[in-house]
Amino acid sequence: MKTFCFLLSFILGAAGVGYGAAAAVPTPATNTAALGRRPAPVRSPEVLPNGQVTFRLRAPKAAEVAVTGQWTKERLVMARNADDIWTVTSGPIDAGVWEYNFQVDGLTMIDPGNPAIKPMREPRTSILHIPGQPPRLTDFQDVPHGVIRNHSYFSKSLGRLRELAVYTPPGYDGSRKRYPTLYLQHGSGDNQATWVVHGKAHWILDNLIAQGRARAMVIVMMDGHAALPGATNNVALFERDLLEDVMPFVETNYRVRANATDRAIVGLSMGGGQSLTIGMKHTDRFAWVGGFSASVPSREALGATLDHPETLNKKLKLLWIACGQDDFLLKRNQEFIALLKEKNLQHEWYLTGGDHSWPVWREYLGDIACRLFKSPQ
């Protein structure tokens, strides 16, 4: 027993824990360190009443910290205070949904004080959402709202587990009616969650439906990266997954109308190329096709589709293409439009302001959503 007590006393003493009458009482400073108390959380971003926004980051060992934001071309250099918190105030910043990140000694990172993060293949972007007055289409408004459902499914055509998100419009769960379907695609840096979390597609449709400007519809948002990293056949694999796995899954589990006139396929950048390629090749599946700042398909990718313009013109209700004047894909889009004109293919082309960015694409979604599943104007 004496041996046991001696060993226990030795172990606890070595660990710095008091035992018996000989134990020393820890000082408050020692106790705080032992508990590993953390400093108070840093508030960032903070939207001020005048529309300015303050950004903060605790980085005691950093030599330089800055903010880069989508609302400005300037790099906002931050200053460090006595508590090792770097801060800068920007603005006033216009209402909208903006991207930003911190640059810490050359490293790009998210704002650790902000839980709103843009879904990406390599997450590095935080989201700053400043509601408008009056509210914008991208703002949460006091209207009936739809529901987002996330699914994991096994793609037999690809042989692996995949994910998708589905928006059902207001009133879907309480009705028995069937709805048209929009297959909505993201760009190369993003994933199936980006159109909701960052694109605000669900709020855009909620607001348009409430205003009577858009038809109630189901929206399916797939992961556009069907090929494994390094492969070059992504469009072909995505097409197989869409046609052989996702569409049967959606049309089995959701009340949607399974015909071409009630299906649309639309996307941005990489997803715009996927949508234009698949939509124009499969007019038996899709009558509404759109591309935002699209990585447009080549003449070869469309193959014999272009040899039958009369069939395309008869079956397509809408072929809608838009691109910003400062977009790096503008030239390719203009060349594609020239090809459509050469083949006498009916289409709508919109050259707008803006570059290759989400503020442009949210506007495009609002525009085309008002056209889908309606009689030609």
Same domain, 114 and 155: no
Token look-up 């046991």 returns 4
* Span 107-137, pLDDT tens digits: 999 999 999 999 998 899 999 999 999 999 9
- Considering the domain architecture, whether residues 360 and 218 belong to the same structural domain is answered as yes
- State the pLDDT at residue 56: 98
294/16: higher pLDDT: 294
Tens digits of residue pLDDT in 346-359: 999 999 999 999 99
The span from the CA of 239 to the CA of 236, in Å, is 5
Strand partners, 348: 320
DSSP state letter for 307: G
Answer yes or no: is pLDDT of 289 > 90.
Answer: yes
Give 111's DSSP letter.
-
**Residue 140 or residue 230, greater confidence:** 140
What are the tens digits of pLDDT across the range 65-111? 999 999 999 999 999 998 999 999 998 999 999 999 999 999 999 99
**Alpha carbon distances (Å) from 23 to 14, 15, 31, 93:** 11, 12, 15, 59
Question: Of 151, 185, 186, 184, which Cα lies nearest the Cα of 165?
Answer: 151
In a domain, 224, yes or no: yes
Based on the fold, state whether residues 274 and 179 are members of the same structural domain: yes
For the cut 60, the answer to whether the pLDDT of residue 312 exceeds it is yes
Domain boundary among 105, 130, 155: 130
- Indicate whether 4 belongs to any domain: no
Rounded to whole angstroms, the Cα distance separating 60 from 113 reads: 15
What pLDDT shows up at residue 36? 64
Q: Are residues 169 and 303 in the same domain?
A: yes
377: in domain: no
Q: Which two tokens stand for residue 254?
A: 């959701």
Q: Does one domain contain both 204 and 293?
A: yes
Instruction: Give 376's pLDDT tier (boundaries 50, 70, 90).
Output: low
* Helical packing angle, 201-210 and 358-369, nearest 10°: 30
Task: Give the domain extent around 72.
Answer: 46-130
The answer to whether residues 175 and 234 belong to one domain is yes
CATH classification at residue 73: 2.60.40.10
- Rounded Cα distance between 242 and 155, Å, is 9
Name the residue type at position 174: G
- Judge whether 27 lies within some domain: no
Q: What is the pLDDT of residues 183-239, one digit of tens each?
A: 999 999 999 999 999 999 999 999 999 999 999 999 999 999 999 888 889 999 999
- CA pair distance 202, 205, nearest whole angstrom: 5
**Closest by Cα among 270, 272, 274, 362 to 321:** 272
pTM: 0.88
